[in-house]
């Protein structure tokens, strides 16, 4: 299904309208053929719904607020995404590990454009690989093969959305996290603190 790759590429288009429409189209493909196997980075085999979910997660870091809001809203409709991908949306540790790995390999050190209105302390030195729910390995054992299983786009996506500077993105993030957590008990437990923290948001309409 080579043509699907075109839509993944369009998610990086210079036009915000094209990027937004590409996200919607990927969601349609994910709904109609979720189990279709595609080849991800480093030759890793992924379900289409998982790769599409990661692409939408990646759009949470888009330069345009409308694209970020659309992406945050679409996340809540990915009912068939794997638990391992969902597990990483509330955890930025794997994303940090990926960045450290890329830095060691001489890759770009450019930080994400959107960041944190609130910072949460992270006191653990272990990182979840995302291969198995709850499986942890020390950061020194993190490698490219592990990075190919869970796209960096999925890592911390909901945390980023809930901390966005624009209300429309935070509001969409709250909605989508609630939608997914309603069907996944493990995600509901993990999301509880994040959603409770949103009661402290300075804008009442976020909730």
Question: Which token pair is 92?
Answer: 């930025």
Is the confidence at residue 65, as pLDDT, over 60?
A: yes
Task: Say which residue, 73 or 109, is predicted with more confidence.
Answer: 73
* List of residues 6+ apart from 185 with CB closer than 8 A: none
Task: Report the pLDDT value the prediction gives residue 46, as an integer from 0 to 100.
Answer: 87
Residue range 155-191, pLDDT digits in tens: 889 999 999 999 999 999 999 999 999 989 999 998 8
Q: Which domains occur in the chain, in start order?
A: 1-101+149-205 (1.25.40)
Contact (CB, 8 A) for 88 and 154: yes
Gap between the Cα atoms of 16 and 7, Å rounded: 14
- Number of residues in the chain: 207
Beta-bridged to residue 136, according to DSSP, are 128
Identify the top-confidence range among 40-44, 123-127, 158-162, 192-196.
158-162
Write the burial class of residue 148 (CB in 10 Å: 0-12 exposed, 13-18 middle, 19+ buried).
Answer: middle
């Amino acid at each position: 299904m080579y043509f699907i790759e075109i839509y993944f590429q369009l998610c990086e288009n210079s036009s915000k309208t094209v990027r937004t429409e590409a996200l919607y189209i990927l969601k349609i493909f994910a709904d109609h053929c979720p189990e279709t196997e595609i080849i991800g980075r480093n030759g890793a085999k992924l379900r289409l719904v998982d790769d599409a979910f990661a692409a939408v997660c990646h759009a949470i870091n888009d330069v345009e607020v409308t694209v970020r809001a659309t992406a945050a809203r679409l996340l809540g409709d990915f009912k068939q995404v794997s638990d391992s991908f969902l597990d990483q949306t509330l955890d930025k540790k794997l994303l940090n590990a990926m960045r450290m790995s890329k830095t060691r390999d001489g890759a770009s050190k450019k930080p994400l454009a959107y960041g944190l209105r609130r910072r949460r302390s992270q006191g653990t030195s272990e990182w979840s690989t995302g291969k198995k729910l709850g499986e942890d390995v020390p950061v020194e054992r993190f490698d490219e093969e592990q990075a190919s299983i869970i796209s960096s786009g999925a890592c911390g996506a909901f945390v980023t959305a809930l901390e966005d500077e624009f209300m429309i993105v935070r509001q969409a993030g709250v909605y989508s996290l609630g939608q997914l957590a309603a069907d996944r008990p493990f995600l509901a437990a993990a999301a509880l603190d994040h959603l409770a923290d949103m009661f402290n948001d300075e804008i009442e309409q976020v909730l």
